């Protein structure tokens, strides 16, 4: 059967390095749709058609934005989210299954006859949730384990870029702390240390002095500050320049770029404080010029998709290109195998296409047929966090004012960390809400977003006040 033949092109581990790739079938990966639906020339009908039941896996602001787009789709009747949050629960039925409970998720999808599952989060993707769904004949959006390694292993992605001449910072990989320490003695400072595996976006240390760098190697490789992610490490040249996030849809061979965005990773105004999951975003980035776009189309985007296919790891899903615009041209800082959070909150509300049409085209390998379009406007997202994030913070604070968003066109309040408690919506995480607004241009969108941050109240509410400051420098 088709599923049977697919089994042999999957590899069993997500940890492979460039040296031990399994050279699988690099041809267009074929997928089996739901039930008896096979890949066929019958385009729309081959898909789930209409009246679809969709399952979203994840529980953050990104998944809320995905759920919101699904709710807008004329093709979707019912949305489930596992595990979801209080905001997602207003447009979807939340089910108490964790994102890493693959067998339970697949069993739920079978039981409810889900037509299409969207995996929002990185951990289940890197862990192979897509493979589990496919083995059950379920239609699912996201890369398989052997492709999600693009995000799951920094050593893998760096080796891939080197092998296929994709511009990135110079680097060396290490799996031995002594060798890493010896390397540092002759290296130029500042220098960047990266734990190899997933570390919630926190496994990157920028070190200004040799002493700091040595302490960093110790933290990552010996003290295992980021857990097993630190078994291997990348030491990388320090680059300077503006950062841009570019999300894309990929079907294994074709790639379509979404509107650009910029994140604000540090906790405090002026890009001070610790790295976080992201304190706010704006889209599009005025620094993502036509020249940058042309350069990346030539040297980065298709090159990455082709490289993955050539390695027998065809990528289906979203590739997030973290780019740095250096003096020597754009370079790839990192890849993610999913939408950014909070990038999705500013990019998806501006997408004109039906999200299911686009995602299904990815899974079916016919993304070339999609004319991906974005509104000619802008959006800004300001994250409302719990004071103390990302270190320590309190939860369970009642949130008021949320209903205001239902009445205002072009304003969104995506929930990141919220829960229901005694009939009230309360804070339940570091990042609590992503207050997002559109505007005719970036300045208007920013003013709107900050105005809307005042609509919501909870104790210990914390936000940055300079999201989108860079807009003024464009
Ligand atoms: P990453 O998780 O690889 O995107 O790294 C997190 C953040 O660290 C990036 O968004 C950059 O701000 C910074 N960073 C990562 N690599 C470098 C580098 N080679 N040079 C300068 N900054 C970097
Ligand atoms: N906002 C950065 C990320 O999603 O990785």
SS3 per-residue string spanning 268-279? EHHHEEEECCCC
- DSSP designation for 10: S
In this predicted model, what pLDDT tens digit does every residue of 20-69 receive, in sequence order?
333 333 333 434 333 333 333 333 334 458 899 999 999 999 999 999 99
Residues 319, 148: contact at Cβ < 8 Å? Answer: no
CA atoms within 13 A on the CB side of 57: 29
Contacts within 8 Å (CB) and 24+ apart, 32-39: 32/1, 32/2, 32/3, 32/6, 32/134, 32/137, 33/139, 33/363, 33/364, 34/115, 34/116, 34/137, 34/138, 34/139, 35/137, 37/139, 38/2, 39/2, 39/364, 39/365
Per DSSP bridges, beta strands 316-326 and 329-336 are antiparallel
239 lines ligand 1 (CB under 6 A): yes
What is the pLDDT at residue 48? 52
Asked whether the bond before 198 is cis by omega within 30 degrees of 0, the reply is: no
Ligand positioned closest to the Cα atom of 275: 1
The number of the ligand 2 atom at minimal distance from the alpha carbon of 201 is: 5
> For the chain, which ranges sit under pLDDT 70?
1-48, 200-202
Q: H or E element: which one contains 104?
A: helix 102-111
The number of the ligand 1 atom at minimal distance from the alpha carbon of 201 is: 2
What is the pLDDT at residue 197? 85
**Structure pTM?**
0.89
Which of 334, 337, 340, 343 has the most ligand 1 atoms within 8 A of CB, as the residue to mutate? 334
Cβ-in-10-Å burial (0-12, 13-18, 19+) of 270 comes to exposed
Cβ-in-10-Å burial (0-12, 13-18, 19+) of 10 comes to buried
Ligand positioned closest to the Cα atom of 337: 2
How far is the C-alpha of 454 from the C-alpha of 460, rounded, in Å?
A: 14
Which of 168, 192, 265, 321 has the most ligand 1 atoms within 8 A of CB, as the residue to mutate? 192
What is the pLDDT at residue 193? 95
Sequence-distant (6+) residues with CB within 8 A of 126 are: 14, 145, 148, 149, 151, 152, 198, 337
What is the pLDDT at residue 144? 98
169 lines ligand 1 (CB under 6 A): yes
Ligand positioned closest to the Cα atom of 204: 1
Sequence-distant (6+) residues with CB within 8 A of 179 are: none
What is the pLDDT at residue 40? 35
What is the pLDDT at residue 227? 86
Could you tell me the maximum CA-CA distance found in the chain, to the nearest angstrom? 63
Give how far the C-alpha of residue 99 lies from the chain's centroid of Cα atoms, to the nearest Å.
15
Which residue, judged by its Cα, is nearest atom 5 of ligand 1? Answer: 204
What is the pLDDT at residue 275? 87
What is the pLDDT at residue 188? 94
Distance from the alpha carbon of residue 231 to the mean position of ligand 1, in angstroms: 19
Residues 354, 372: contact at Cβ < 8 Å? Answer: no
How far is the C-alpha of 148 from the C-alpha of 166, rounded, in Å?
A: 18
Positions of E strands within 327-410: 329-336, 378-386
How far is the C-alpha of 47 from the C-alpha of 34, rounded, in Å?
A: 9
Q: H or E element: which one contains 53?
A: strand 52-58
333 lines ligand 1 (CB under 6 A): yes
Selection from 124, 120, 55 nearest residue 92 by Cα:
55
Which residue, judged by its Cα, is nearest atom 2 of ligand 1? Answer: 201
Which residue, judged by its Cα, is nearest atom 7 of ligand 1? Answer: 204
201 lines ligand 1 (CB under 6 A): yes
Ligand positioned closest to the Cα atom of 245: 2
Name residues contacting ligand 2 (CB within 6 A). 201, 263, 278, 336, 340-341, 343
Positions of E strands within 91-190: 93-94, 116-119, 140-141, 171-174
Structure tokens that stand for 263 in this block = 């994140």
């Amino acid at each position: 059967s088709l599923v049977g033949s697919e089994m042999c092109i999957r590899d069993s581990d997500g940890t492979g390095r460039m040296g031990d790739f399994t050279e699988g079938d690099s041809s267009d990966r074929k997928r089996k749709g739901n039930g008896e639906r096979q890949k066929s020339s019958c385009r729309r009908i081959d898909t789930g058609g209409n009246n679809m039941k969709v399952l979203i896996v994840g529980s953050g602001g990104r998944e809320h934005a995905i759920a919101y787009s699904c709710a807008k789709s004329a093709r979707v009747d019912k949305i489930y989210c596992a595990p979801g949050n209080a905001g997602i629960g207003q447009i979807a039925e939340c089910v108490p299954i964790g994102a890493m409970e693959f067998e339970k998720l697949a069993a739920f999808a079978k039981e409810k006859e889900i037509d299409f599952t969207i995996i929002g989060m990185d951990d289940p993707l890197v862990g192979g949730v897509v493979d589990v769904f496919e083995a059950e004949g379920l239609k699912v959006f996201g890369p398989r384990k052997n492709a999600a390694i693009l995000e799951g292993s920094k050593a893998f992605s760096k080796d891939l870029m080197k092998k296929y001449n994709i511009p990135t910072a110079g680097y060396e990989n290490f799996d031995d702390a002594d060798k890493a320490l010896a390397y540092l003695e002759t290296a130029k400072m500042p220098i960047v240390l990266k734990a190899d595996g997933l570390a919630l976006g926190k496994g990157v240390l920028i070190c200004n002095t040799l002493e700091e760098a040595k302490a960093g190697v110790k933290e990552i490789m010996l003290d295992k500050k980021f857990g097993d992610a630190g078994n291997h490490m990348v030491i990388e040249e320090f680059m300077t320049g503006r950062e841009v996030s570019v999300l894309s849809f990929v079907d294994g061979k074709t790639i379509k770029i979404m509107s650009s965005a910029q994140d604000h990773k540090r906790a405090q105004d002026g890009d001070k404080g610790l790295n976080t999951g992201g304190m706010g975003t704006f889209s599009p980035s005025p620094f993502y010029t036509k020249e940058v776009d042309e350069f990346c189309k030539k040297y980065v985007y298709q090159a990455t998709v082709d490289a993955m296919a050539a390695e027998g790891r065809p990528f289906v899903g979203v590739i997030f290109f973290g780019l740095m615009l250096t003096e020597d041209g754009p370079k790839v800082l990192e890849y993610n195998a999913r939408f950014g959070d909070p990038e999705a909150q500013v990019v998806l509300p501006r997408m004109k296409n039906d999200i299911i049409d686009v995602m299904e085209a990815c899974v079916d390998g016919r993304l070339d047929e999609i004319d991906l379009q974005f509104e000619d406007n802008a959006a800004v997202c300001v994250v409302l966090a719990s004071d103390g994030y990302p270190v320590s913070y309190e939860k369970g604070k009642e949130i008021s004012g949320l209903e205001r968003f239902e009445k205002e066109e072009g304003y969104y309040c995506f929930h990141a960390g919220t829960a229901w408690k005694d009939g009230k919506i309360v804070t339940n995480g570091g990042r609590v809400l992503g207050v997002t607004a559109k505007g005719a241009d970036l300045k208007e969108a920013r003013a709107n977003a900050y105005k809307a941050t005042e609509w919501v109240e909870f104790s210990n509410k914390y936000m940055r006040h300079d999201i989108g400051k860079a807009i003024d420098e464009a």
